[in-house]
Amino acid sequence: MNEYEHFFILVNPVPLNGHSSSIHVSLQDGKGETVEEIQENALLSDNNFRDLSGLYIGLNTAEKHGIKKVTVLTNNVFLRAMVQSERKEMDSYGFSPDIKKLIGNFEEVGIDVVRW
């Protein structure tokens, strides 16, 4: 895998089976080809918990693939704040330290809040 290639992590772009606790993460290369897709259920049906879980899973998966540059695509503004370090306090779910640590392992992590 080209270390200079940019990849995208799509966090919950499409609800799975209409369940609010479904996590759907897709890792795609710059051409839109899917590198890996993860689908599982979160422990809680809260949107922020589900999306934080998805962000953690996506970053962890990208790191395992040796990817250095990613952009996270999500419809959750809370995730943007987490990635851009706009939230100084920890999230109430405890993901913040692990997510910050993962972000530090990449050369570049961007985020775009989009509508699906």
Q: Tell me if 74 sits within 8 A of 11, measured CB to CB.
A: yes
Q: What's the pLDDT at 102?
A: 94
pLDDT at position 47: 86
Q: Are strands 6-11 and 69-74 parallel, antiparallel or unpaired?
A: parallel
Tell me the average pLDDT of the chain. Answer: 86
Both structure tokens of 19: 């369940």
66: left (phi over 0), alpha (psi -120 to 50) or beta: left
Picking from 3, 4, 42, the residue whose alpha carbon sits closest to that of residue 25 is 42
The pTM (predicted TM-score) of the whole model is 0.88
